[in-house]
Structure 1
Amino acid sequence: MEVIAIQKSTFDGLENELKELLEMTESATQKYSTIFKQEKWLDNQEVCLIMNITKRTLQTYKDKGLLSFSSLNRKNYYKLSDVQALLKVGQPYKANENGLTDE
C-alpha cells in the first residue's frame, strides 16, 4: 500500500472542490427528476429483457426510428410506454439464434 502525504490546506481545498462538484451534480439531476417521475424509464438491458431481443436488435430499432430514446450522460433510456407500444404492434426485426436480425 502506498501512502501519500499532502498539506492540510491542499486536502481542504480538494475537499471543497469535491463538495462543489457534488452540489453541481445534484442541481443538474434535479432538472431531470420530474421527467423520470412522470413515467417509468428503462435502460438498454431492461428493454432487451422485456422484449427478449439482443442489444444489436435494439440498435436496429433505434436506427430505423422504431423506438425513441433519450440520452443522459451517454446512456440511453426508453419510455416504458414506447416499449409496450412496440410490443403491441409486433417486433419487425427479431434476432435469430445467431444474434442476427432478420429483415
Structure 2
Amino acid sequence: MEVIAIQKSILDGMKNELKTLLELTENATRKYTPIFKEEQWLDNQEVCLMMKITKRTLQTYKDKGLLPYSKLNRKNYYKLSDVRALLETGLPYNTNDNGFTNQ
C-alpha cells in the first residue's frame, strides 16, 4: 500500500476546488431539471418499439414535421406525450410524399 503525504493547506485547497466544481455542476443542471421532471423523454429505439415502426419511418415522420424532437449530444429525444398524440391520430404508417395514404 502506498502512502502519499501532502500539506493540509493543499488538501484544503483541493476540497474547496471540488466543492466549487460541484456547485457549478449543480447550477448548470438546475435549469434543465424541470424540463425532464415534467415530461418523460424517449430515444429513437424506444419510439420505434412503441410505435412499431422502423428507424426510416421515424426519420420520415421527423422530416415531415409530424413528430417533434429535441437533439441533445447528437441524439434525438421525443416527448412521450407527442408520441402518444401521434399514435392517437391514427396516422397511417405508409404515406407517400404528399402525406396521403396509399389505398
TM-score (ref. length: structure 1):
0.64
Give RMSD over aligned pairs.
2.8
Task: Report what 1:92 is aligned to.
Answer: 92
Query: Percent identity of the aligned residues?
Result: 72
How far residue 26 of structure 1 moved from its aligned partner, in angstroms, is 5.1
Q: 1: CA distance between counterparts of 2:25 and 2:60?
A: 32
When residues 28 and 59 of structure 1 are mapped into structure 2, their CA distance, relative to the original with a 3 A threshold, is: farther
The structure with the larger Rg is: 2
What SS is found at the alignment partner of 1:82? helix
TM-score norm. by structure 2 comes to 0.64
Structure 1, 26-35 or 47-56: larger mean CA deviation: 26-35
Greater mean alpha carbon deviation, residues 24-33 or residues 54-63: 24-33
Query: Structure 1: 5+ residue runs without aligned partners?
Result: 1-15, 95-101
Pairwise CA distance, 1:76: 0.9
Runs (4+) of structure 1 exceeding 6 A deviation are: none
**Residues 27/92 of structure 1: CA separation in 2 closer, same or farther (3 Å cut):** farther
- Relative distance call for 1:74 and 1:24 in structure 2 (3 A) is farther
Determine the structure 2 residue equivalent to 1:60.
60
In structure 2, list runs of 5 or more residues that go unmatched.
1-16, 97-103
